[in-house]
A and B are shown apart, each in its own frame.
Chain A
């Protein structure tokens, strides 16, 4: 490393920085290399685009096997090192957080933009001209995109409509299963929506329980929570008031080390009894408060269990703090940190708690009546599949579906999918580019061309002839049919009018384009890379 640096740095930079740093500059040294790296990343993920995208098998550093076509996951697990490619990763991460979908569009589009500007650079254009051109094109795109909205969904409390909207999102991840998953996702989201005011879905309120075994058609949606373990005691069904204890249900021990000092024989004889009596009192007082279901965040001592059984309460142990918090919100109770009788407003209510058997696993199912009172704040989708990799991928798909509905609640705009939007944009941007006088014209044209990659990849991934389809699409769009897209089923000439059942979210697409262009411009603007020597020594 030191040698290469010595060759590179004729300037005083080497003297300025600590030994062991890396330094690259100029179009050849930095920009093109960055482009190369970004392209490399885009090539990896682009074959996963669309419903017919292929999966990647990633084995991460913990030897965990991940099979997925979800771009955010792939990019995250790849452990990207190159700083420019990392920009793309960050863009994908942002997209995942913001919309939870269209991450592949972000990465592949940024990759495609960078790839095309490689040609421009070789043609002799300066990076600043390209940046200017891309910026102009993006501004135009931003203005045009809203005009392409074909539908604006206002009524987000309509289950059938939700199913229609999240189907294509789920199809992009689990093609062939969307007809099973979409109703589940829609139902789960519907249940958690407030009954009045603006409908909204928080992604945390839709939980997923994965159980290996069975097959996907046995998946179901539950209005409430699922705890992945059985009950502690013998009671398997209950209904009624819920008391949640964040602490363990056991005799409290002092934190400081103490010794019980006994003076005489009576002390000794009554010592154990008094402890027993105390526990009896506590449990009895909890039972007297009307508690039917007792949830503990810690251990439940055998003595406590004995009395819980005696007073006929159901006892469930939940060791995860997060689950405990969710169960509190699902049952509308507040967690107590000290063992004692809860006040009426600290207690929650659950319509029914059941132990159910799935395969060989036993689960505690807390279900609420979604139509009563304030409804349920948490709903759970129980997923079944025969292998863990399928399960995990299903989980990611459901996550995307929920995210999609949550985004939809904020912005109901919908665009035609299947590459129709991209082709239309591409054509309009091209026309706009032709009207621009300066050198940025080239960059704007490249931008337009980059947009074509979506329909091309969709066609490619579904095993069709991309060039033919692209030609057909362009002809159709030039003739004013602005919603013709790729027919991934491969009927006819590979194109079809995108109907109302294949729409993409405006918000997701908008933010994907924005993040992609941001990442692209950031990468392009870099003309010098200086990497200081990694701290810690050891590994180079």
Chain B
């Protein structure tokens, strides 16, 4: 080291600045979009992603984006919007990525020509706002009677682009049925279970209006149980019904060998007491989160009850919702109101699995969809598709408005934007026009993926939208090629889907445009040590470290010790 240079930042810090940085960010985003764009639409192709352990076949944008493990910091923004679209709407995850990258691509030339990014951002935001308003204006509200039909079509459209598209006549009504059963205000998706049973044929999938779950592991005596009840009473427990030591740290010391038998008897009577109480409650079916052992199973079988132990928590909650039963952590004081009931219970064979089915429940707040299919990957993908469809129906119910899909709404918004842009003076006009052009990527890609000439289709669409009053719902005709009125054809999507994806794509594009410098600090050398300091910075971290056992607080000595720990963290960050 001859003459020490001026080291402003830590050694190994990498910075890049200016226009080239922006262009490279845009290029990275395009590369990401390139990877997912062929999955768009009904004729989109699937991707097989192998992450070293598991093979996933999917055409769900969010799934693919998550599996791609994108490392580029700017391109990660696209993963973010895809995820947020998934969380907010559940569908349209590919199109949001595609839109964002296309917007960037369209404004890239302006960046290269030296237009200040802030100018671009300002008009991009304005355009995105206008686009969202236009979609809101175009949206067709639900009408009471036709509501269900509309939901069916929305579900159908969502399923159309998925693997199980050819069976949408089966699945769409199933999804609508399941979702409309839910209470509309706070519909929790956990209340719709999707159970996967490999084997059989797709079309033998079915919907249970109630709860279904796979028969749990059972002990001897299970065969003798009644497997079918009409109007049974149901008891849900969180109690282990097995012979076992009552308490881990308890010890029995006896002075007299005669007492030995009494202790054994006592243990037996403890469990018999519990079992008796279950039976006395009047229940026909006993379910428990925890294991139900040999003895209990046999006992219940003798008394003509059905029991299942180690039931999944989610299933327990659903049974509770459907039957009105409340999970009990104790067998003492079981009140009549915590016992649930339903119209019908049976254990049924599905494929080579046995399922417990609760049907004709008093409050249809939950539903179970049993999916069948050949291979594991197929069922997995069907599951994802069902999830998307369920989300779409749920959102449609909430937003109560729909728009026509197939690129129709994008074309119409593009038209409105073009018209508006002519009213703007200056560079904004060009930015808004390129925003409009970016929207055309949806119909273009739809046509491309379906194997039609995208340019022809697009030209026809533009003409229709610009020149004809009733042309606003014309989109790509996937089946026949060319264009058609997608509203008439029943290709419908909830308007919130489009609103969210336009807003999110615009936002993401603006974020990427607004970055003019990247500074990458070297990764800390001791990955173990640093996160601790980070915890200290958040303040709560160090303190919550002491939350390990909350009882510590009562115990003064332990508290002091642990508090010291937390304080140390804070000290650690010292100079910042």
Inter-chain CA distance A94–B62, complex, in Å, is 43
Q: Decide: B507 and A215 in contact? CB cutoff 8 A.
A: yes
B330 within 8 A of A: yes
Q: Which residues of A contact B125 (CB under 8 A)?
A: 176
> Is B479 close to A, CB under 8 A?
no
Q: Which residues of B from 59 to 111 have beta carbons under 8 Å from A?
A: 73-74, 76-77, 80-81, 83-85, 87-88
Q: Which A residues between 298 and 327 are near B, CB-CB below 8 angstroms?
A: 298-299, 302-303, 305-306, 309, 319-323
Instruction: Tell me the bound Cα distance from A190 to B549 in angstroms.
Output: 39
Indicate whether A258 reaches chain B with its CB closer than 8 angstroms: yes
Closest to A320 in B: B540
> A residues within 8 A CB of B330?
276, 303, 306
Cβ-neighbour of B508 out of A261, A272, A386 (below 8 A): A386
Per the bound structure, the CA–CA distance linking A213 and B82 in Å amounts to 10
Q: A76-B576, A461-B118 are in contact. Are A387 and B84 (CB under 8 A)?
A: yes
Which residue of B has the minimal Cβ distance to A489?
B122
Do B523 and A63 have beta carbons less than 8 Å apart? yes
Q: Which of A36, A175, A359, A385 contacts B87 (CB 8 A)?
A: A359
Report chain B residues within 8 Å CB of A319. Answer: 544, 547
Chain A residue contacts of B523, Cβ below 8 A: 61-63
Known: A3-B1, A321-B540. A272 touches B555 (CB 8 A): no
- Inter-subunit contact B521/A260 (CB<8 Å): no
Q: Are A58 and B516 closer than 8 Å at their CB atoms?
A: no
CA distance A56 to B329 in the complex (A): 54
Q: Separation in Å of the A245 CB from the closest CB of chain B?
A: 9
Contact A54 to B249, CB < 8 A, known contacts A59-B521, A303-B330, A320-B540: no
Nearest neighbor of B263 in chain A, beta-carbon distance: A265
A340 to B267, CA, bound (A): 32
Contact residues, A243-302 vs B (CB, 8 A): 246-248, 250, 252-253, 255, 257-266, 268-269, 271-273, 276, 297-299, 302
Surface stretch bound by A, among B3-11, B47-55, B352-360: B3-11
Give the segment of A40-48, A130-138, A148-156 that binds chain B: A40-48
* Chain B positions within 8 Å of A194 at CB level: none
Q: Of the candidates B1, B13, B265, which one forms a contact with A265 in the assembled complex, judged by CB atoms under 8 Å apart? A: B265
Q: Which one of B203-211, B250-258, B293-301 contacts A?
A: B250-258
Task: From B87, B188, B249, give the contact of A260 (CB < 8 A).
Answer: B249
Contacting residues of chain B (462-510) with chain A, CB-CB under 8 angstroms: 500, 503-504, 507-508
Partner of B515, one of A52, A57, A338: A57
Answer yes or no: B459 CB below 8 A from chain A CBs.
no
A57 touches B517 (CB 8 A): yes
Collect the chain A residues with CB atoms within 8 Å of residue B115's CB. 463
- A261–B249 contact, CB under 8 A? no
B514 — which chain A residues lie within 8 A by C-beta?
Answer: 54-55, 67, 69
Q: List A contacts of B531 (CB < 8 A).
A: 62
CA A359 to CA B88, docked complex, whole Å: 5
Kindly list chain B residues whose C-beta atoms are within 8 Å of the C-beta of A263. Answer: 253-254
B500: A residues at CB distance < 8 A: 213-215, 386
Partner of A253, one of B88, B246, B520, B551: B551
How many of chain A's residues have a CB under 8 angstroms from any CB in B? 96
Cross-chain contact A268 with B267 (CB below 8 angstroms): yes
A381 within 8 A of B: no
Among B10, B117, B118, B522, chain A packs the most CB atoms within 10 A around the CB of: B118
Q: Which residues of B contact A257 (CB under 8 A)?
A: 249
A390 within 8 Å of B (CB atoms): yes
Known: A69-B514, A215-B507, A259-B251. A386 touches B543 (CB 8 A): no
* Option from B87, B266, B516, B517 in Cβ contact (under 8 Å) with A266: B266
Choose among B88, B254, B521, B534 the residue that contacts A58 (Cβ–Cβ < 8 A). Answer: B521
Question: What is the CA–CA distance of A248 and B4 in the complex, to the nearest angstrom?
Answer: 57
Q: Bound complex: CA of A99 vs CA of B273, how far in Å?
A: 68
CB distance from B130 to the nearest CB of A (A): 13
- Which residues 113-154 of A have a CB within 8 angstroms of B? none
Q: Mark B320-333, 1 if CB is under 8 A from A, else 0.
A: 00000011111010
With A261-B251, A302-B238 known to touch, is A386 a contact of B84 (CB < 8 Å)? yes
Asked if B553 is an interface residue, CB under 8 A from chain A, the answer is yes
**Contact for B551 among A36, A255, A462, CB less than 8 A:** A255
Given A57-B74, A337-B553, A260 contacting B269 (CB threshold 8 A): no
Tell me, rounded to whole Å, the shortest Cβ–Cβ distance linking A48 to chain B.
Answer: 8
Name the distance in Å between B272's Cβ and chain A's nearest Cβ.
Answer: 11
Contacts of A40 in B (CB 8 A): 6, 8
Q: Return the contact of B3 from the options A4, A259, A262 (Cβ within 8 A).
A: A4
Tell me if A4 and B4 are in contact (CB < 8 A): yes
**Residues in A whose Cβ lies below 8 Å from that of B247:** 260, 271-272
When C-beta atoms are compared, the residue in chain B nearest to A35 turns out to be B6
Report Cα–Cα, A158/B87, bound state, in Å: 38
Residues of chain A lying within 8 A (CB to CB) of residue B511: 55, 67, 387, 389-390
Distance in angstroms between the alpha carbons of A213 and B83 in the assembled complex: 8
**Which of B9, B508, B551 lies in contact with A79, CB distance below 8 A?**
B9
Are the C-beta atoms of A269 and B270 separated by less than 8 Å?
yes
B554 in the interface (beta carbon within 8 A): yes
A147 → B minimal CB distance (Å): 33
Nearest to A51 among chain B residues (CB) is: B118
Chain B residue nearest in CB terms to A32: B6
- Assess the B554–A386 pair: CB atoms within 8 A: no
Residues of A within 8 A of B186 (CB): 236, 355, 357
User: Known contacts A320-B544, A322-B540: does B118 contact A386 (CB below 8 Å)?
Assistant: no
Q: Is B399 part of the contact surface with A, judged by Cβ < 8 Å?
A: no
Chain A residues, CB < 8 A from B188: 357
Indicate whether A443 reaches chain B with its CB closer than 8 angstroms.
no
State the Cβ distance, B128 to closest chain A Cβ, in Å: 9
The reply on B518 being an interface residue by CB < 8 A is: yes
Known A36-B6, A255-B551, A272-B246: A386·B85 in contact at CB below 8 Å:
yes
Residue of B whose beta carbon sits closest to that of A304: B329
Tell me the bound Cα distance from A93 to B504 in angstroms.
Answer: 33
Contact at B522–A61, with CB atoms within 8 Å?
A: yes
Residues in chain A near residue B83, CB distance under 8 A:
212
Which residues from A are CB-within-8-Å of B220?
none
**A386 and B250 contact, CB distance less than 8 A:** no
Contacting pair B73 A59 (CB below 8 A): yes
Contacts of B263 in A (CB 8 A): 264-265, 268
* Closest A residue, CB atoms, query B117: A54
Interface presence of B166 (CB below 8 A): no
What is the distance, in angstroms, from B471's C-beta to the closest C-beta of chain A? 29
Nearest-Cβ distance from residue A207 to partner chain B, whole angstroms? 13
Indicate whether A387 sits within 8 Å of B81 (C-beta atoms), given known contacts A258-B249, A322-B543. yes
Contact A262 B516 (CB under 8 A): no
Give the distance in Å from the alpha carbon of A125 to the alpha carbon of B371 in the complex.
Answer: 84
Task: Please tell me if the beta carbons of A259 and B250 are within 8 angstroms of each other in the complex.
Answer: yes
Assess whether B84 is in contact with A80, with CB atoms less than 8 Å apart. Answer: no
Q: Are A212 and B530 in contact (CB under 8 A)?
A: no
- With beta carbons under 8 angstroms apart, the residue of A33, A54, A59, A297 that contacts B547 is A297
Additional pairs, 16, CB under 8 Å, beyond known A57-B515, A463-B116: A24-B4, A55-B514, A58-B518, A62-B524, A78-B519, A82-B8, A85-B8, A214-B88, A260-B250, A265-B265, A360-B189, A386-B80, A386-B85, A386-B500, A389-B80, A463-B115
Q: Which A residues have a C-beta under 8 Å from some C-beta of B? A: 1, 3-4, 22, 24, 33, 36-37, 40-41, 44, 47, 52, 54-63, 65, 67, 69, 76-82, 85, 93, 175-176, 212-216, 234, 236, 246-248, 250, 252-253, 255, 257-266, 268-269, 271-273, 276, 297-299, 302-303, 305-306, 309, 319-323, 337-338, 355, 357, 359-361, 385-390, 461-463
Report the 8 A-B pairs with minimum CB-CB distance, sorted nearest first: A298-B550, A463-B116, A306-B329, A265-B266, A386-B504, A387-B80, A54-B516, A248-B550
Could you list 29 examples of A-B contacts with CB < 8 Å? A1-B4, A4-B1, A44-B15, A47-B516, A54-B516, A55-B511, A61-B523, A77-B521, A80-B8, A212-B83, A214-B88, A247-B551, A247-B554, A248-B551, A255-B557, A259-B251, A266-B266, A268-B246, A268-B267, A268-B270, A276-B332, A299-B550, A306-B329, A321-B547, A360-B87, A360-B189, A361-B87, A386-B503, A463-B115
